[in-house]
A and B are shown apart, each in its own frame.
Chain A
């Protein structure tokens, strides 16, 4: 707004005053950004990779953008997988729609693979041919609600019983997906009633419902994971970890944490939505 009003004023002024105003407004803008940075005690920059054309979604999402140049939108609903070509985001084009052999609740993409959480397991699809996802394999578990995230050759799955998906198990599974046609369970941890989860470079964040947010050191997942922090007294639903900034939605509102590896995490803000 400041800049716009400045530009409007410029039209009224002669060239000499323009020369005076331009450096002044630049100085004002510059001082504003310095002020914002001064709020961080250690100059932490929270910035997404500028090459990240499609941003980041929560683990419970049924939409994900993947494929070459982020040109494909994959959606899952009931047992239907739909592929939209979004090369031009303003003219989405449905290029494929087919049924999986079971109901699907969530979709997560890593590289040329899609991981889907289903009430009875986790499905893996190959999207090297982006328009025609190929079923690779699955891991079956007891009936529950279960989002999935993955990093390198390990997948993390939460199971929540007692909800709309049925079942009674509340667990966190660590799966070996080095052979995606045959995922294998490596570890299994008891949870309270987990919803979404997120992984960033060996730090695992699990929204354990009424039992809050749990943070794990998952830097060496083949040796198991270790809980390193616990933020309770909130009903954690889903997270998005992005390069040192953890965005979490809870029933109580929006929470943000700063983290630097599994050993360092702190709450920086919580707000209610629409207060």
Chain B
């Protein structure tokens, strides 16, 4: 008899909750995934105006140019022909970038899961001259504000290249 009660109790509770459809809406600040499709990834690399560095990443020096990775986002390009007066000439957007090396005048860098070749012969006009798809396994990018909650990504929307802080409205049952 006791066993029967144990089995029935959750069933009764389920019925009880379904009777009262009380929910409350709450605004929660969460990190929501920034998606990028394969096609978007391929067209994502472009020169932009110089900008403030958000996180100091890896550095590389080649032929009077200093490259500084801004992890997850892109590469700052510094003209260092005169080391006493380095010129910040711009920023190459490279989503999902963390690492780089340079051979001759070509940056070879990770662009999320791809390995891309970016010709810098004209440093103000970088040109993508090669791409190896799927060179690296996909890694979920992390955000420094770890205290924030993450929204679980839907990977059918593309790969996650970063996170945006967004206020999301959540419905949860009343208690």
Specify which chain A residues have a CB less than 8 angstroms from the CB of B62 in the assembled complex.
48, 52, 54-56
B130 touches A89 (CB 8 A): yes
| Min CB–CB distance A170 → chain B (angstroms) | 20
Given contacts A93-B132, A269-B86, contact A54 B68 (CB under 8 A): no
Instruction: Tally B residues with Cβ within 8 Å of A.
Output: 44
Any A CB within 8 A of the CB of B145: no
Interface string of B124-154 (1 = CB under 8 A from A): 0000011010011000000000000000000
Known contacts: A256-B86, A269-B85. The answer to whether A274 contacts B52 by CB under 8 A is yes
Please name all residues of chain A whose beta carbon is closer than 8 Å to the beta carbon of B98 when the two chains form the complex: 62
Within 8 A of B (CB), among A46-93: 46, 48, 52-58, 60-65, 70, 73, 75, 77, 82, 84, 86, 89-93
Segment at the interface with A among B7-15, B29-37, B102-110, B167-175: B102-110
Given A73-B108, A269-B85, A273-B76, A63:B101 Cβ within 8 A? yes
**Chain B contact residues, majority secondary structure:** strand
- Among the stretches B39-47, B53-61, B157-165, the one at the interface with A is B53-61
**B49 nearest CB across to chain A (Å):** 9
A10 at the interface (CB under 8 A from B): no
- Using a Cβ cutoff of 8 Å, how many contacts connect chains A and B? 146
Inter-subunit contact B99/A75 (CB<8 Å): yes
How far, in angstroms, from A56 to B103 measured CA to CA in the complex? Answer: 10
Among B60, B76, B102, B119, contact of A274 (Cβ-Cβ < 8 Å): B76
B86: A residues at CB distance < 8 A = 254, 256, 269, 271
Cβ contact within 8 Å between A274 and B50:
yes
A90 to chain B, nearest CB (A): 4
Task: Map CB proximity to A onto B78-106 as digits: 1 under 8 Å, 0 otherwise.
Answer: 10111111101001000000111111101
Contact check, A237 vs B56: say whether CB atoms are below 8 A apart.
yes
Q: How far is the CB of A186 from chain B (nearest CB, A)?
A: 29
Complex Cα distance, B64 from A245, in Å, reads: 11
Q: A250 CA to B115 CA in the complex, in Å?
A: 27
Q: How far is the CA of A191 from the CA of B56 in the complex (A)?
A: 21
Q: How far is the CA of A90 from the CA of B59 in the complex (A)?
A: 21
Q: Is B122 among interface residues, defined by CB-CB distance under 8 A?
A: no
How many chain A residues have a CB neighbour from B under 8 Å?
50
Q: A39-B82, A269-B85, A274-B76 are in contact. Are A92 and B108 (CB under 8 A)?
A: yes
Q: Which of A61, A268, A275 contacts B60 (CB 8 A)?
A: A61
Q: Report which of B84, B130, B132 forms a contact with A268, defined as CB distance below 8 A.
A: B84
The answer to whether A94 has its CB under 8 Å from any CB of chain B is yes
Contact of A249 with B60 at beta-carbon distance under 8 Å, contacts A92-B115, A94-B132 already known: no
Asked whether any CB of chain B lies closer than 8 Å to the CB of A247, the reply is yes
- For this complex, 16 residue pairs linking A to B, each with C-beta atoms less than 8 Å apart, are A60-B58, A75-B136, A84-B132, A86-B103, A89-B104, A90-B119, A92-B115, A92-B117, A94-B135, A237-B56, A240-B61, A247-B80, A268-B84, A269-B83, A269-B84, A271-B86
Q: A40-B84, A56-B61, A274-B52 are in contact. List 19 more A-B contacts (CB 8 A).
A: A48-B64, A53-B103, A54-B101, A55-B102, A61-B100, A63-B109, A75-B99, A82-B135, A84-B115, A89-B108, A91-B130, A91-B132, A240-B59, A249-B56, A256-B86, A268-B83, A268-B84, A274-B50, A274-B76
CB-based closest 6 A-B pairs: A55-B62, A90-B130, A274-B52, A273-B53, A63-B101, A58-B59
